[in-house]
Amino acid sequence: MERRHFLATGLLAGLGTPSSSLIHSLLPVLTPPDRGPLKPFYTPPVPIQVGPNGLGFRIPVRSSQTNIQFSCMEGIMGPKLMGPAPHVHKDLDELMFVQEGTVSILVGDQVYEVEAGGWHLRPHGLVHTFWNATDKPVRYIDMFFNQDFENFLEEMFARLIPDLMKRGVSLTSKEATSQMNTLYTRYGITMFEEQRQPIMAKYGLKG
């Protein structure tokens, strides 16, 4: 018997004689859909293309390769650059490993200075952001669990924003805001754009 079915059976047995409605409500949680076996894969090293804004990323592991259990992005952030506006994820937990430099990470009202070789977990449900307050570039790996978040990154930063800029549409326009909000909603993200500028001013960052 597979482990998840064993756990489901044991829990339901511990409930005595549960009603059929309770069983049907619990089973989807206790026995997630079987997406098939994981298959080995290899991702070769590929240089990250850094844009004129000093930012760049690549996706070495996709959620489609791991049955939506895990994906990650490798990022570069130039000196004195602000990351995204403070935001909160409904479901997504993020784990960052800093490869080079020091990344400043804000969670709630606490700032963590994560140096090269350090790890930092940003659990879902907590407002957070990050930036590079140093005079040197930083490199990091951001890891995502149980959500295809790499698809959000590509849709937002490799397709939507470049398309808007190519067409000369301001990123603060009604059209841009509407499209971005649709994407945020789809991925369970709530943004707090008004909190971004004060952080940039406090730490002398570019946006």
Percentages (nearest 5) of helix, strand, coil residues in the chain = 35, 30, 40
User: What's the rounded Cα separation, in Å, for the pair 186 and 171?
Assistant: 19
Q: Supply the pLDDT for residue 20.
A: 53
Q: pLDDT per residue over 7-48, tens digit each?
A: 444 444 444 554 555 445 544 544 555 667 889 999 999 999
Query: Start-end ranges of CATH 2.60.120.10 in the chain?
Result: 55-203
Q: Supply the pLDDT for residue 145.
A: 95
Q: Supply the pLDDT for residue 111.
A: 98
- What would the two tokens of residue 191 be? 């943004």
Q: What is the CATH number of domain 55-203?
A: 2.60.120.10
Phi and psi based region of residue 108 (left: phi greater than 0; alpha: psi -120 to 50; beta: remaining): left
The more confidently predicted of residues 171 and 201 is: 201
- pTM beyond 0.85: the answer is no
Q: Supply the pLDDT for residue 13.
A: 47
Range name among 1-5, 13-17, 58-62 with the lowest pLDDT average = 1-5
- What would the two tokens of residue 46 be? 């590929």
User: What's the rounded Cα separation, in Å, for the pair 43 and 192?
Assistant: 35
Q: Supply the pLDDT for residue 25.
A: 53
- What would the two tokens of residue 52 be? 């004129």
| DSSP character string of 88-131 | EESS-EEEEEEEESEEEEEETTEEEEEETT-EEEE-TTS-EEEE
C-beta pairs of 184-188 under 8 Å, 24+ apart in sequence:
186/152, 187/89, 187/92, 187/147, 187/149, 187/152, 188/89, 188/90, 188/91, 188/92, 188/147
Q: Supply the pLDDT for residue 52.
A: 86
Q: pLDDT per residue over 146-181, tens digit each?
A: 999 999 999 999 999 999 999 999 989 999 999 999
Q: pLDDT per residue over 89-144, tens digit each?
A: 999 999 999 999 999 999 999 999 999 999 999 999 999 999 999 999 999 999 99
pLDDT tier for residue 4 given thresholds of 50, 70 and 90: very low
The answer to whether 185 and 152 are in contact (CB under 8 A) is: no
Q: Supply the pLDDT for residue 33.
A: 56
The answer to whether 65 and 119 are in contact (CB under 8 A) is: no
